[in-house]
Amino acid sequence: MNFCGKCGKELKEGAFCGGCGAKVETVANQSSHTGANFNPNSAGTTVSGLTQFTANIALFIATAFLFILNIILTFVPVIYEEVTQPWFGHRYESHSLSSLLNEGGLGILINAGIFLTIVTVIVLCLPLLTNFKYTTKSFILAKIWSIYSFITGAIFILITVIWANQDIERRGLGELASAGLTFGGYMFFLVNILLIIAIFKLSSKFKKKKK
């Protein structure tokens, strides 16, 4: 298996590299210094983080998309609550994860999540802006962040739904209520699971090959 010495993409059949368009003859000369089995994802190769990014651009973009979607879903309604009162009729309420945490006095979890998000973005962007290369260690913080986000959100959403459905007596005077997940709530679980898978998959691309 040969890789382009210019962009790091795997070479297919043909006269030109499918990634950067360089001639295969030129690519062969550039690759001769790193060997026929040049791997742009290996921590030991003399390629830049940008080259590694280019070689895995589809997975990086998918992970970034899920990352951004995860942040957005923190601020959209994830649960609904239907309340029926004898004198005031029926009303519908919806709550986002951020509002639920703030109302529950757990705003510190949101602040911790924001801090982790900023640091994670900086760590993942460093290889693109410096001479550092991506390794499995580059994704440790991203793994922690994705798992933290999922566990914190999932537990609090489920507890809130169970509490809202069971705590009818607190309302008194015949007031009834029911709660459940909104479309955003279901998306929160789906996106978080996919994000964890994507980050671990991306990290596995940069495992050091055993000699």
Give the pairing type, strands 176-181 and 89-96. Answer: unpaired
Residue 26 has pLDDT above 60, yes or no: no
- Domain 49-204, second-level architecture: Up-down Bundle (1.20)
Residue 41 has pLDDT above 80, yes or no: no
Cα end-to-end distance, the chain, whole Å? 17
Q: Residue 61: what pLDDT?
A: 92
Question: 109 with 152: CB under 8 angstroms?
Answer: yes
Q: Estimate the crossing angle of helix 57-73 against helix 183-204, to 10 degrees.
A: 150
Q: Which of 68-77, 116-125, 128-137 has the lowest mean pLDDT?
A: 128-137
Q: How far is CA 188 from CA 51, 147, 152, 171, in A?
A: 32, 13, 12, 29
Query: pLDDT band at residue 113, thresholds of 50, 70 and 90?
Result: confident
> Residue 180: which H helix or E strand, with range?
strand 176-181
How is the chain split into domains, by residue range? 1-38, 49-204
Cross-strand partners of 85 = 89
Residue 38 has pLDDT above 80, yes or no: no
Q: Residue 138: what pLDDT?
A: 87
The length of the chain is 211
Q: pTM for the complete prediction?
A: 0.69
Q: What is the mean pLDDT of residues 155-162?
A: 80
Over the chain, what is the mean pLDDT? 75
DSSP assignment letter at 7: T
Query: pLDDT band at residue 8, thresholds of 50, 70 and 90?
Result: low
